[in-house]
């Protein structure tokens, strides 16, 4: 199509006025756009995004909107540079700031899913522009026909009812105010205003599933049911309404049961397992998206998570894209990265003093007289029966331990299992060792080596954080 002026003169005709009023209602209704919002407009240069840009410019005075244009050149077509220059020129005509970046999407995909990678890179770019320009919302140009295609595509992939909701009009920071408009409506609007756009010839490539749905399947469905795209979009809208309810249920449950940490979260396994599968699957999906930082988790990932709950083994883990999910006895753990399993370590304890442990805690050893009550993380041994040097270390193959009060020795591994220590805790657990394992630090002392009343003892205290640092500094200074 040849270029036409981006004029505003002559006033809106009846059709244009109806389109504009419908658009304004979408912004203030389903999109929940507040007056005074700063907004990034994603603009490819195609008809849909140009209609979006034009309508937002018309709506800006009424809603006091501040608009910024953003265009990502995917580098997939020889003419993509011309698309970028076109968007810049149209933004200039409208007096809007425009941000353009070029990415080599083909290289980034490296044999993977090109469309998924392009979408992820594009969203990352739009979010960076929003942050740079202090914009709280990003407007996307998806319309009703896109919604119908998305519903069909997800049905073919075997989605659940969550997938049927397809694209939401408001999914902060993203807004889709054109979901109520057909492709033909938007092009008619541009024609009436004598506006131009760029055509992407890859949209006619029938090797792509979405293009086959657009050019072959939807037209065939429309022969059977003339308003098939509208009905599919209505299905998405009704499913979206139901998902809003489920989302509130999930949020309420998560507020009570999910415990966030710096590197992820944990939650009680029993509380999750007892939920109805419909709610539990949605809980899983929200957890994966929130802590995995991705929105492309699907049924195969949910099934893998469900197996953690069903397994007879008390410890099991699954590596998902961007997320490690594990069952550890009565807890479910979610981490961006699997925990590092420490190798063998050993610290010589040549004399009483303060010794730092690899996990950031400290062990203080001091001679004293038996008498005062011991704290929660303290043990003591008969000084006469202790010979230095002692050693602080983690487990070794073949370690055996005689716990205080137990009928006899057992494998350290069996003690760890009985104490319900996770694989990661077992690997890092500090042991105080002499001629035997004296103390599984912080958990259990060994049998025997008890001093008589008033006798000299070696008192061992587990100290945390800043208190231990101060003790270590004092020890170093006194030496």
The 10s digit of each residue's pLDDT in 294-312 is 888 988 999 999 999 999 9
Q: Is 233 labelled a binding residue?
A: no
Q: Is 398 labelled a binding residue?
A: no
Six-digit token pair at 298? Answer: 């699907």
pLDDT band at 75 (very low <50, low <70, confident <90, very high): confident
Q: Is 45 labelled a binding residue?
A: yes
Q: Please, what are the domains in the chain?
A: 14-231 (3.40.50.620), 258-335 (3.30.465.60), 346-478 (3.50.40.10)
Whole-number pLDDT of residue 148: 97
pLDDT band at 245 (very low <50, low <70, confident <90, very high): very high
This prediction has a pTM of: 0.75
The 10s digit of each residue's pLDDT in 435-450 is 999 999 999 999 999 9
Identify the weakest region by mean pLDDT among 17-26, 110-119, 327-336. 110-119
Q: Is 48 labelled a binding residue?
A: yes
Whole-number pLDDT of residue 214: 93
Q: 242 pLDDT exceeds 70? A: yes
Least Cα distance to 84 among 57, 103, 102 occurs for: 102
Q: Is 44 labelled a binding residue?
A: yes
The 10s digit of each residue's pLDDT in 407-429 is 999 999 999 999 999 999 999 99
Q: Is 49 labelled a binding residue?
A: yes
């Amino acid at each position: 199509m040849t270029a036409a002026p981006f004029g505003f003169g002559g006033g809106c005709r009846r059709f244009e006025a109806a389109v504009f009023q419908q658009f304004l209602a979408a912004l203030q209704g389903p999109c929940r756009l507040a007056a005074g919002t700063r907004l990034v407009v994603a603009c490819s240069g195609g008809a849909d995004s140009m209609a979006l840009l034009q309508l937002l410019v018309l709506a800006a005075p009424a809603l006091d909107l501040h608009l910024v244009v953003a265009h990502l050149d995917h580098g997939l077509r020889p003419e993509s540079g011309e698309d970028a220059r076109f968007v810049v020129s149209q933004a200039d005509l409208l007096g809007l700031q425009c941000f353009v970046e070029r990415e080599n999407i083909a290289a980034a995909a490296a044999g993977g899913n090109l469309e998924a990678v392009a979408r992820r890179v594009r969203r990352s770019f739009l979010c960076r522009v929003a942050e740079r320009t202090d914009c709280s919302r990003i407007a996307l140009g998806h319309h009703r026909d896109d919604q119908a295609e998305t519903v069909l595509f997800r049905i073919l992939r075997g989605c659940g009812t969550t997938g049927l909701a397809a694209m939401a009009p408001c999914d902060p920071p993203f807004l889709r105010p054109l979901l109520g408009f057909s492709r033909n409506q938007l092009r008619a609007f541009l024609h009436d205003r004598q506006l131009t756009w760029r055509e992407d010839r890859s949209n006619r490539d029938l090797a792509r599933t979405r293009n086959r749905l657009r050019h072959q399947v939807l037209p065939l469905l429309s022969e059977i049911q003339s308003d098939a795209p509208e009905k599919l979009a209505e299905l998405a809208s009704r499913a979206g309404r139901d998902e809003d309810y489920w989302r509130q249920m999930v949020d309420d449950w998560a507020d009570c049961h999910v415990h966030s940490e710096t590197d992820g979260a944990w939650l009680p396994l029993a509380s999750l397992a007892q939920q109805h599968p419909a709610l539990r699957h949605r809980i899983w999906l929200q957890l994966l998206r929130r802590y995995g930082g991705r929105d492309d988790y699907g049924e195969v990932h949910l099934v893998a998570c469900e197996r953690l709950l069903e397994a007879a083994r008390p410890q099991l883990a699954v590596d998902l894209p961007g997320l490690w999910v594990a069952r550890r006895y009565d807890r479910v753990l979610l981490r961006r990265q699997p925990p590092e399993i420490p190798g063998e370590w050993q610290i010589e304890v040549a004399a009483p003093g303060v010794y730092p442990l690899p996990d950031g805690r400290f062990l203080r050893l001091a001679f004293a007289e038996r008498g005062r009550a011991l704290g929660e993380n303290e043990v003591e041994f008969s000084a006469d029966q202790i010979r230095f040097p002692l050693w602080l270390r983690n487990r070794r193959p073949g370690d055996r331990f005689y716990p205080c009060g137990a009928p006899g020795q057992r494998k350290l591994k069996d003690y760890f299992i009985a104490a319900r220590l996770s694989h990661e805790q077992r690997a890092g657990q500090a042991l105080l060792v002499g001629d035997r394992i004296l103390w599984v630090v912080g958990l259990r002392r060994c049998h025997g080596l008890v001093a008589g009343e008033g006798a000299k003892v070696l008192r061992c205290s587990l100290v945390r954080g800043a208190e231990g640092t101060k003790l270590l500094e004092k020890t170093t200074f006194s030496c």
